Amino acid sequence: MQKNKSNIINLGCRLNIYEGEIIKSLVSKSELSHFTIINSCTVTQEAEKKVSYEIRKAKKKFPENKIVLTGCAAQINPQKFAAMSEVDYVIGNNEKLNFKTWSDIKNSKSVQVENIFENINTNHNLVEKFEGKARAYVQIQQGCNHRCTFCIIPFGRGNNRSVPLGIIVDQIKLLVKNGYKEVVLTGVDITDYGKDLPGTPDLFQIVKRILNLVPELKQLRLSSIDCAEITSNFWPLLENQRMMPHFHLSLQSGNDLILKRMKRRHTKKQVIDFCHEVKRRRNDVVFGADLIAGFPTETDKMFADSIRLIDECNLTHLHIFPYSQRESTPAARMPQVSKNIIKSRAKILRNHGEKNLLRYLNKQIGTNTTMLVEQSNLRGSFGKSQHFTKIHINKKLSEGSIINCKIYKIKKDILQAKII
């Protein structure tokens, strides 16, 4: 950080990365100096503990700076963090995206957190670049109308609010103009997009419009989708080669009774049928997924259903979450699984996912693909394929470029490739 300049620390989700760039711009326009802003996450107990750690770490590193906490931890538990001696200001998720918040912060209350459910709008600030990122993230909606029994995020983000298509297109055009070749559509629950807009367009209708209206965009990726919200508009998108063949699924469990207790809207059969139909239509597609280990009441037999789901859907890119009890959620009042069992089940799921990934990577040897260059240094260039697998090329290349390459071996979990 340059002397006297303010800095921002983004924690958690891709939406925070997007909003972090907006905050950075607003802080710069406000000419604030000696401020450290922590844009926080609180999806799990571990994430919340990390917030406190980052606050103390920031104060130690920049003792002369004012510490501002914003994001979901600030929105959900403002008084807890306001009580920390290191924290000077606590700013809510709505307030953090308003210019006035930052321009007047020195003369404002130390805690500025409104009722998130009263907000029916989305922020329309446009982002010009993502510092240090090869791909761009574009918010298409905020909030969530569903109340999964384990989740507190709606209380940090509010209800579903969709960004109008015109603003999304303007944002993507600006990013493409500034050199970005891949855009990720992101939000809290993107498959709920459009239900609050005139004509109720769904996510897959706007994806089609984006691909048509921004032909210069090379690659479009979806952050996470819910099988319960798939419409007939999804299937034609698989034919478009600019639509990346990697879909991350919000699954959480492979057992129908656990899914019901979570208040998820899909069944195991729906997930399996969806994955098989996608593969039938576009065979090179790969799937990632979120899975929770040790949800309350989960027995060994129920847990085994999640293991089987990994194989039945050929899931390769897994995000495994040991169940984290969140205060005031319905799941917190259910009979809990012991922490040792939760930890053990999470390890089993990770190991199973790693074996699936390794099998997939071995099948890629000898194939041609493309790589979006994310980082380039003396050790060569590193990036991701269209299937979101890690690739290394032993040559320094331009960051943000897309390179045609051929896979010749694997080193750990990274594909080794040569330019073709």
| pLDDT value for 4 | 57
CATH number for 378:
2.40.50.140
- Tell me if 124 is assigned to some domain: no
- Tell me if 142 is assigned to some domain: yes
Does one domain contain both 87 and 176?
no
Burial class (CB in 10 A: 0-12, 13-18, 19+), 379: exposed
pLDDT tens track for 253-265: 999 999 999 999 9
Distance, CA of 154 to chain centre: 15
| pLDDT value for 121 | 81
Give the count of domains, the chain: 3
What the block records as the tokens of 71 is: 């994001």
CATH number for 297:
3.80.30.20
What the block records as the tokens of 100 is: 């006035």
Does one domain contain both 108 and 211?
no
**Helices and strands in the chain: count of H runs, count of E runs:** 12, 18
pLDDT tens track for 127-162: 999 998 999 999 999 999 999 999 999 999 999 999
CATH number for 19:
3.40.50.12160
* CA dist list (Å): 144 to 70, 118, 309: 19, 13, 26
Average pLDDT over residues 349-378: 96
Q: Give one word for 194, left, alpha or beta, with left for phi > 0 and alpha for psi -120 to 50.
A: left
Average pLDDT over residues 302-314: 97
* CA dist list (Å): 206 to 110, 167, 219: 40, 12, 15
Cα–Cα distance, 156 to 172 (Å, whole number): 26
Cα–Cα distance, 84 to 89 (Å, whole number): 10
Q: Is 327 helix (H, G, I), strand (E, B) or coil?
A: coil
What the block records as the tokens of 144 is: 């969530």
Write out 254-296 in H/E/C secondary structure.
Answer: CCHHHHHHHCCCCCHHHHHHHHHHHHHHCCCCEEEEEEEECCC
Strand order in the sheet with 66-71: 7-10, 35-40, 66-71, 89-91, 111-112
Cα–Cα distance, 344 to 325 (Å, whole number): 17
Average pLDDT over residues 67-88: 95
Domain final residue, candidates 331, 363, 395: 363
Does one domain contain both 214 and 312?
yes
Does one domain contain both 353 and 376?
no
What the block records as the tokens of 37 is: 């802003």
- Tell me if 131 is assigned to some domain: no
- Tell me if 61 is assigned to some domain: yes
Does one domain contain both 74 and 141?
no
**Confidence band for 60, pLDDT divided at 50, 70 and 90:** very high
**Confidence band for 120, pLDDT divided at 50, 70 and 90:** confident
Does one domain contain both 250 and 110?
no
Asked whether the CA dihedral 194, 197, 200, 206 is positive or negative, the reply is negative
Token pair 């469990």 in the structure block, residue: 253
| pLDDT value for 3 | 52
Cα–Cα distance, 224 to 245 (Å, whole number): 13
- Tell me if 231 is assigned to some domain: yes
| pLDDT value for 24 | 93
Strands, E, within 338-413: which ranges?
A: 368-377, 380-385, 390-393, 402-411
Does one domain contain both 359 and 372?
no
Does one domain contain both 408 and 347?
no
Q: Which residues contact 302 (CB under 8 A, 6 or more apart)?
A: 253, 255, 257, 258
Distance, CA of 216 to chain centre: 24
The helix or strand, by DSSP H or E, that contains position 315, with its residue range, turns out to be strand 315-322
- Global confidence as pTM: 0.92
Please check the confidence at residue 107 and state whether its pLDDT lies above 90: no
Domain final residue, candidates 348, 363, 378: 363
Does one domain contain both 42 and 103?
yes
- Tell me if 121 is assigned to some domain: no
What the block records as the tokens of 223 is: 């952050």
Asked whether the CA dihedral 197, 198, 201, 207 is positive or negative, the reply is negative
**Confidence band for 372, pLDDT divided at 50, 70 and 90:** very high
Domain final residue, candidates 344, 363, 382: 363
What percent of the chain has pLDDT above 70?
99
Does one domain contain both 381 and 355?
no
- Bridge-based pairing state of the strands 368-377 and 286-293: unpaired
Taking Cα atoms as reference points, which of 124, 104, 100, 162 lies closest to residue 18? 124
- Tell me if 323 is assigned to some domain: yes
Does one domain contain both 402 and 385?
yes
Please check the confidence at residue 1 and state whether its pLDDT lies above 60: no
What the block records as the tokens of 337 is: 């699984």
- Tell me if 343 is assigned to some domain: yes
Does one domain contain both 382 and 357?
no
| Structural domain boundaries, residue 97 | 7-114
Please check the confidence at residue 267 and state whether its pLDDT lies above 60: yes
